[in-house]
Amino acid sequence: MMVIVPQGAREGFPDCAILPRMSGRPLALVVILAAAAAAGCAGKISFDNATPGAPQRIEGKLFKPDGGGPFPALVLLHGCQGVVRQTETWARWLRERGYVALVVDSFGPRKEPADCKGGGESGPSTARFDDAIGALRYLQTQPFVLPDRVASFGWSQGGLFAMSVINGPTLERARARGVALPRAGYAAAIAMYPGGCRDYAKELVIRPLLLLIGGADNWTPPQYCREMAAAMKARGAEVTLVEYPGAYHYFDVVGQKKDVLRDIEQPFTPGTFGVTVAHDPAAAADASRRVEDFLTRTLKAAPAR
């Protein structure tokens, strides 16, 4: 079974406010914050995204292991439901294994309610891409993070953006519109039941990608990720796809009963409403093992390429 850190574990640590705005504060406060950096903690942070000429201030929550590091890190990208308990459960799980985890809240600062009903952006979004690049920049300024050992990790809609930051054509499009990309980009990506596989079927990721999908998913149907993975691998990409037969969307969400969300339209069958979600303990356990092995290989075993 996947190891789940209780929701209240480690709460009460100082806010991980090791931010650029620390400058100019009294020396005593700097000492306090330095002590917070050495201890495992979780706290709210904010950073500028990478939108050229008009960066937006984005909010997040940083989860840091005990000690001064430096540690490898991950940027966690939520789905259309926004940041939920399971997002932070994964962040704690990663922290316990020696990774810094930054949960990015792309909806909160924009005052956008979580809405999975469709009608918004279903394809690549420059705003959320820019948030992910801003999060990478932020982590690379922290002394407790290894700047060339940062991966993206996204769920559903967030899985698209996790892939976008290692997708070569997306990065080139970002440069063309003026985004200043960090010298050391994302080292790897994990996408769990992602949207957007059909959009990227003719493109190419340039860093290792782990895809975890449900075989019975009717929200982000698995065939598009199968086709994307096969096409990219044929062109030389390092893509690992794991499909769980009979598993639905949200298979990793502990406590999610099997349910049909009848107000959500199936994205590839217009006019058909109702998508199935359900926790699958066996799939969740295997997914956690696959994630741990993938991160050990891509972030801990060797420097990013």
> What confidence tens digit (pLDDT) does each residue in 163-215 have?
999 999 999 999 999 999 999 999 999 999 999 999 999 999 999 999 999 99
Res 241: pLDDT:
98
Give me the phi and psi of 177, to 5 degrees please. -95, 10
> Which segments in the chain show pLDDT lower than 70?
1-41, 111-115, 117-124, 301-305
Entry pTM: 0.85
- DSSP-assigned beta bridge partners for residue 104: 60, 77
Give me the phi and psi of 57, to 5 degrees please. -85, 120
| Measured distance CA(277)–CA(260) in Å, rounded | 6
User: Which pair of tokens denotes residue 203?
Assistant: 């493109």
DSSP, collapsed to helix, strand or coil, labels residue 292 as: helix
Residue 59: in which H helix or E strand, if any? Answer: strand 57-64
Res 264: pLDDT:
87
Res 1: pLDDT:
28
| Measured distance CA(203)–CA(13) in Å, rounded | 43
How deeply is 180 buried, as exposed, middle or buried, from its count of CB atoms within 10 A (0-12, 13-18, 19+)? exposed
Res 70: pLDDT:
96
| Measured distance CA(247)–CA(74) in Å, rounded | 25
> What confidence tens digit (pLDDT) does each residue in 96-119 have?
999 999 999 998 777 666 667 654
DSSP code for 23: T
Res 238: pLDDT:
98
Res 3: pLDDT:
29
Res 15: pLDDT:
38
- The terminus-to-terminus CA distance of the chain in angstroms comes to 32
Residue 167: in which H helix or E strand, if any? Answer: none
Res 125: pLDDT:
78
Residues near 167 by beta carbon (within 8 Å), at least 6 away in sequence? 200, 203, 204, 205, 206
